[in-house]
Structure 1
Amino acid sequence: MHKDDTWQYCLSSENIDEAIGTIISFLENNGVEGEEATRLRLIFEELLVAYKNKFGEECRFDLKKRKFLGRCRVQLYVESSVLDPFSSDDEDYNLLRKLGADSKSECTWDYRNRVNIISVVPRKKIRISTSIMTLVAFFLAIGVGFLCESLSESVNRNMLKGYIEPAFDTIMGIITGVAGPMIFFSLTWGVCAIGDVETLSKIGKKMVSRFMVILMSLSVFTSLVCSPIFRSVGGGVTEFKFSDLFGLILQIIPDNMIKPFMEGRTQQIIFLAFVFGIVLLILKEKVSTFTKVVGDLNEIMRYIMSLSNVLIPIMVFLGIFKIMISGNFSVVVKSWKVIAVYLAIMLLLAMAYTVCVSVKYKTKLSVLVKKAHPAAIRAFTTASSVAALSLGMESCEKSFGIDKKIIDFGMPLGNTMFKPAVQTAYVTIGFGMAQLYGVPISPYWIVVITLTCFLLSLATPPIAGGMSMCYAILFEQLGIPNEAIGIALAINVILDFTMAGINQYCLQLEMTALAGSMDMLDKDVLVKN
C-alpha cells in the first residue's frame, strides 16, 4: 500500500530490500552521502532483520519519510511487542548499537500504543549538547559580568536598558509563545496514546488515577516542606480564604478555547488538552484522520521546540549577565539551597517507594534496589527516561514479575505522565526563586504553585527542552521576574540527570504496586534475588 509517502510492508526479505532502497534513495536525494549513507543503510538493514527474526515475516511495518524545513526524517513503525535494539543488552544487537553510536545522525526509539517507533534524523555535523552550552553560557555570563564591574554605572545601565533587556524580552516572548501549543498537543496526544476506551476502562482508569493522586500528594508535600524553608522577604502573609481556592478551581475552566492560548493560562490549556484527548479517545474510529493530525501537530511542535532550544543558552547568558551588572550576584550564590532541598526530597521519595513496596510484598529492600537500579542508572547517565524505557520494561517483566499487559501499556504512558522528580523540581525551584526575588509567598500563592506544578508535570514532554518552556509559563503564573529563568535553567541542567534516574526508579516500583493491586503480579518472581 502506498499513500502520501507511506508504505506498509510485511517483513519478508523482498520487502526489506525494497524498503532499504526507498530509504537510501530518499536520503541521497537530501544530501546524505558517502560513509554516513552506508552506515544508515546498515542501520536500517539491521533494524528490519532484528524485528523479522524476533517477530517473524508476518509482522507488518510502516515506513514514513518526511522533509520539513530542510530537515529530513525516516521513521519505522513496527506493530509488535516492545523491542529496542539500540539499548538491548542482547549480543545479537552489538553491531546495531555500534552503528548507532558511530552515526552522525540522530537515532531514537520509542514505544507508543503497542508500536515500536524508530526515528532517524540525519544531520551534517555533531552539535554540542544544549546542556553543555547552557552551563558554558552560565559561567561565561558570570565572568563577563565581573569584567563589566570595571565599567561606569552609566555604561552598564545603558547596556542593560538598550540591549540586554530588549533581547531577553524578545527571547522570552518566543519561548512563551511556543510553550502553550506545545503543552496542549503533547498532553492531547498523550491521552490519545492510551489506545482505546476499553483499555482505559480496564487498566488506564486506575493507572491514571494513581498517577494523579500520587503526583498531587507529592506536590502538596513538597510545598509544605518548602514553605518554612523558603520564606519570602518581599511581603507579608495574607489571610487565606476558601473563596480564593474556589475561584482558582473555577478559573481552570476557560470562557472560550482561544483565550487561554492568547493569555498564556496554563491550567486552562491543560484542561482543554485533557478534554480534547478524551473525546478523541472515545470517538477514535470516527475521527481517526483528525487524531492523526493531532499526532502530526505534536511532532511539529516538538520540532519547533527543538529549534527554540538554540535560544536557551542565549537566554541563560542574558539572564545571568543582567543579574550581574545589576549588582545582584548574591541571588546566584544563594540558589544552592534549592539544589539541596530538591535532592533531600528525592532521596526521601526513593526511600519511601522502596520501603512501601518492600513491606507490602515482603521483599528485601536490597532485592528491590538491585532489580530497579539498572534502568535507573541508564536514565541517570543519559539524562533521559526515554533512553531507559526499554530496559525498564524488560526489568518489570523479568525481574519484578509484572504482567506484560500492564507493562506494554503502563510504562510508555508512565514515562509521559508520571514524572515525580520533574514536579518536585518545579515546586522547589519556584519556591527558591520566589524567595530570592522577594515575591510574597502567601497561602493562596502556595495553592497556586501546588496546583500549577502538578498540572505542568503531567503536560511536560519527556524530551530535551520540555521543562525549559514550562519554567517560562510557571514563573508568569507565580509573579516571579523573567530574569529568574536564567538561574532556573542552570539549576535544571545540574538536576537533569537526577530527575531522569529518579523518575525511572519510581516508575518501576509504581508499576509493581499497581500490578499487585490488580492481581497481575507474580510475587514469586518479585521476591527472588
Structure 2
Amino acid sequence: MLKTKKFILSEQNAEMVADLIVETLQQLSVEPEEILKIRLSMEKALDSWMEKGLAPNTGELIIQTRLKKVQITLKVQGKEANPYEQNDDDQFGDAFFSQPFLAAIGSGSGCGYVYSKGMNIVSANIKHKASNPFLPIAIAVLLALVAGVTTHYLPLEVSEFILNQVAAPLFDKFTSILTTVICPMLFFAVVWGIYHIGAPNRLGSVGKKVLWHFSGILIGMTLLGGIAASVFTKVHLPSAGAEGIQSESIFQLLLDAIPENMIDPFQNGNAIQIIVLAVLVGMAMVLLQHRISIAGQLMEQCSAISQCIVGFFATISPFFIFLSIYRLLAGNYIPLLLYMLQMAGVYLLCMAIVFLLYLVSVRVKEGISPLRILKIIMPSTLLALVNASSSAAYSVMRNNCDKKLGIDHRLSKFTISFGSVVFKPAAVVHLILLTVFCAKAYEVKITIGMLVITMIVSFVLASAAPSVPGGLLAGYAVLFVQAGIPAEALGLAVIADIVMNALDAAINVFILQLEVFHCAKRADMLDPPGENTSIYNA
C-alpha cells in the first residue's frame, strides 16, 4: 500500500494530515496507543515548523507498508528546523512530546528527524498489528483448563511427574528470568522519567502545574486504594512479640528502604530499594544536567533496551499463562477465583465513589449541572470502555474540551495528550487491590509495611513504567515478589487485568476530562459563557 498527500503547511492542513495518519493506521489495525504516540510526534513536528516560519511552504505525507511494517514520512520544504529541540519560551511544554519522551513511554515507532536537500523530514516505522492480542491468551487459558482437568484423571505418579518435574521447573525458570529483567526496567524507567521531566525548561510553567496536579490526583487514588485494601482485607497492625506477626514500624520501614549497596536490591528483587536508588540517581542527573549529556543518552538507551527485552515476554506470555493456570488447577487452588471476584467488587465500589465525588465537585466548584457534564463526556468514556484504551478516545476528548467545555485549545491539547499517555489514576487502585487480594488468597499476611510498600510501588508503576507489551506482566511480578505472593498467581492476575483494563481506561478518560476542566478554570483559560460553548447552553 502506498498513500501520498501533498499539502501547504498551515494550521488547518496540519490537523488534516494528523487525521489522515490516524485514519490510515486505524485501517491497518495498529494499536490505539501506538497511533496516539505517532499522532503526537507528527503534530509536534508540524506545529514546530509553523512556529519556526516554514508556513506556507509545501509539504508531503507518505504512508507505505513494507513487509510487516508501516512507514510514515512527513516532509516540509524550507530551512533546517529540528522540530524536537527544546524551546525555552514554551509555556506548556509541547517539547515534552519529543523522540526521547515517546521512547521512554514505550513507543516502537522509531521516530527520527533528518534534513536533506532543503527538506525537513520526520519518519516513523510501526509494526503491523499481527492478530488479536487476546486470542493467544484465550487459547492458552482453554488449553490450561483442559490440561488441568485431564491431569486429575491420570495416574498419581504421572500427574505428579508432569506437575512437579515438568511444569514447575519451566515456570520457576520463566519467573526467575522475568524477575531478573524487571528490576533494571523499573530502575531505568524511574531514572529516565525523573531526568527527562526534571530537565530545565522541559515543561513550561503551565505544564509543570499540570504535572503536579496530576501527581496529586495519583497520590489521592493511591490513598483510596490503600484505604479500601485495609477495610476489606485483614491488615495486621504492628505488634511486637505477637506470635506469627512481624513486628514493624514506619521507622523500620524507612530504614529497610535504604539499600546497603548497589547490588543487593537487584539480586533480591527489592522494588522499594530500587525505586530509592532510581530517585537518587535521577535527581543527581537533573542537578548535573549540562555535565552529563552522555550519561543521559546512555540512560535513555538502556531504558530502550530493557523495554525491548520486556516486550519479548509479550510473545511468550501465553505459554507463561498456560503454566500458571495449569498449576492452579492441578494444585486444586480454585478459591483464588473467588478472591478475584471480591477484588473486582471492591474496585467497582471505589470507582463509584470517585465517580460521585467528581460529579459533586462539578456542582460545588464550577456551579454546573452534573447531568450536563455527563452528557458531554460519557460518549468518550464509553468509547474507551469498548476499546479498553484511553488512546482510542483521544479525538473525542479533544473535541469535548475545545468545543463543548470551552477550554483554551493550547491547554487542552497539552493536557489531553499528556494525560492520555501517562495519566493512569484508576490503574493505581487496581494494582493495589489485586496485589492485596492475591496475598489474602495465598494466606500471605498483609502487614502495614507490606501495604505501604505496595502503595508506593503501585504509584511508581502507574506513573513511570513504560506502556510496552509485557509491561503489565513485569509490573505484577514486581509487586508479587515484593509482597511474597507465589508466582503462579501471576497468570490469573494478567487475565484479571485484561478484564479490568477496560474499566481502567473508561475511568481514566472520565477523570482526565474533568481534571482538565478544573485546571482550565483555575488558570483562567476557560472561554466565557457563550453560544459556542456547549457546557453553558441550556
TM-score grouping bracket, smaller chain normalisation = 0.7 to 0.9
What is the CA distance between 1:471 and its match in structure 2? Answer: 0.4
CA distance in 1, matches of 2:352, 2:232: 17
Q: Decide which of 146, 149, 161 is 1:146's aligned counterpart.
A: 149
CA contact (8 A) 2:351 2:507 kept: yes
For 2:276, the equivalent position in structure 1 comes to: 271
Distance verdict in 2 for CA 1:254–1:168, change over 3 Å: same
- The one-letter amino acid paired with 2:274 is I
Structure 1 position 414 matched with structure 2 position 430: no
Once the two structures are superposed, what CA deviation does each residue of 1:345-374 show, in whole Å capped at 9, x if it has no partner?
223223322321332111121222233334
Matched, 1:528 2:536: yes
Q: How does 1:231-246 map to 2 (within 5 A)?
A: 231=234, 238-239=238-239, 244-246=249-251
CA distance in 2, matches of 1:156, 1:498: 39
Aligned equivalent of 1:28? none
- Check conservation: 1:112, 1:412, Cα contact below 8 A: no
- Say if 1:398 and 1:105 are closer, same or farther in 2 by CA, change over 3 A: farther
Deviations 1:52-103 (A, max 9, x none): 932899xxxxxxxxxxxxxxxx9876644779xxxxxxxxxxxx99x89999
Which residue matches 1:495? 500
Q: TM-score, normalised by structure 1?
A: 0.74
| 1:422 and 1:457 in contact (8 A); partners too | yes
Q: Which residue of 2 aligns with 1:398?
A: 403
One-letter amino acid of the structure 2 residue matched with residue 158 of structure 1? F
The 8 Å contact of residues 55 and 80 in structure 1, kept in 2 or not, is answered as no
**Unpaired runs of 5+ in structure 2?**
18-36, 49-60, 74-83, 85-93, 103-108, 112-123, 241-245
Contact preservation (8 Å) 2:221, 2:426: no
Q: What letter corresponds to residue 113 of structure 1 in structure 2?
A: F
**Could you tell me whether the CA contact under 8 Å between 2:377 and 2:400 is conserved in 1?**
yes
Partner of 1:309: 314
Tell me by how many angstroms 1:494 deviates. 1.0
Residue 197 of structure 1: SS of its match in structure 2? coil
Q: Deviations over 1:156-190 (max 9, x none)?
A: 22111111111111111222222222223333343
What are structure 1's unaligned runs of at least 5 residues?
1-37, 58-73, 84-95
Per-residue CA deviations over 1:303-353 (Å, capped at 9, x if unaligned) read 222211122211111111001111222323442212222222223223322
- In structure 2, what is the Cα distance between the partners aligned to 1:325 and 1:415? 41
Task: State the match for 1:213 in structure 2.
Answer: 216
The 1:52/1:519 distance shift into structure 2, 3 A limit, reads closer
Residue in 2 that maps onto 1:248: 253
Is the alpha carbon distance of 1:410 and 1:142 closer, same or farther for their aligned partners in structure 2, counting shifts above 3 Å? same
Distance 1:426 1:464 in 2: 17
> What is the number of equivalent residue pairs in this alignment?
456
Contact 1:135 1:493 in 2 (8 A): no
CA distance in 1, matches of 2:391, 2:192: 17
- The correspondence of residues 466-505 of structure 1 with structure 2, limited to 5 A, is 466-505=471-510
Of residues 469-478 and 453-462 in structure 1, the stretch that sits farther from structure 2 once superposed is 453-462
| 8 A contact 1:222–1:424 mirrored in 2 | yes
Partner of 2:26: none
Q: Which of 418, 428, 432 matches 2:433?
A: 428
- Worse overlay, 142-151 or 326-335: 326-335
Alpha-carbon distance between aligned partners in 2 of 1:289 and 1:188, rounded to the nearest angstrom:
15
Structure 1 residue 135 and structure 2 residue 138: aligned?
yes
Partner of 1:4: none
CA displacement, residues 4-48 of structure 1 (integer Å, 9 cap, x when unaligned): xxxxxxxxxxxxxxxxxxxxxxxxxxxxxxxxxx33xx26x5799
> 1-side partners of 2:456 and 2:6: how far apart?
47
Query: What is the alpha-carbon distance in structure 2 between the residues aligned to residue 107 and residue 373 of structure 1?
Result: 35
Shift in CA distance, 138/526, structure 1 to aligned 2, threshold 3 Å: same
Aligned equivalent of 2:163: 160
Distance (whole Å) between structure 2 residues aligned to residue 357 and residue 106 of structure 1: 43
Written as runs of structure 1 = structure 2, the 5 A alignment for 1:107-122 is 113-115=96-98, 120-121=124-125
**Closer/same/farther in 2, CA of residues 526 and 231 from structure 1, 3 Å limit:** farther
Asked if 2 retains the 8 angstrom alpha-carbon contact of 1:389 and 1:415, the reply is yes
Aligned with 1:450 (options 451, 455, 479): 455
Instruction: Report if the CA contact (8 A) 2:238-2:247 is conserved.
Output: no
Aligned to 1:18: none
2:39 counterpart of 1:53: no
Identity %, equivalent residues: 27
Asked whether the 8 Å contact 1:445–1:478 carries over to 2, the reply is: yes
2:179 corresponds to: 176
* Paired residue type of 1:400: L
Any idea what SS the aligned residue of 1:309 has? helix
**Stretch moving more, 372-381 or 497-506:** 372-381
| Cα drift, residue 107 of structure 1 | 7.8
- Determine if contact 2:141/2:325 at 8 Å carries over to the other structure: yes
Deviation digits for residues 275-300 of structure 1, max 9, x if unmatched?
44445455555544543443333333
Matched position secondary structure for 1:481: coil
Q: Is the 8 A contact 2:224 2:429 kept in 1?
A: no
Distance in 1, Cα, partners of 2:183 & 2:16: 43
The aligned runs of 1:221-236 (5 Å cut-off) are 221-231=224-234
Check if 1:361 corresponds to 2:366: yes
Does structure 2 retain, via aligned residues, the 8 Å contact 1:266–1:473? yes
Matches within 5 A, 1:315-354: 315-354=320-359
Structure 2 counterpart of 1:142, one-letter code? L
Which is further off, 500-509 or 279-288? 279-288
CA contact (8 A) 1:135 1:490 kept: no
User: Considering only aligned residues, what root-mean-square deviation do their CA atoms show, in Å?
Assistant: 3.9
**Alignment check: 8 A CA contact 2:196 2:202 kept:** no
2:305 aligns with 300
The 1:448–1:370 alpha-carbon spacing in structure 2 relative to 1, beyond 3 Å, is same
CA–CA separation in structure 1 for the residues paired with 2:7 and 2:193: 26
Contact preservation (8 Å) 2:145, 2:326: yes
Change over 3 Å in CA distance of 1:252–1:307 after alignment to 2: same
Distance 1:393 1:465, change over 3 A: farther
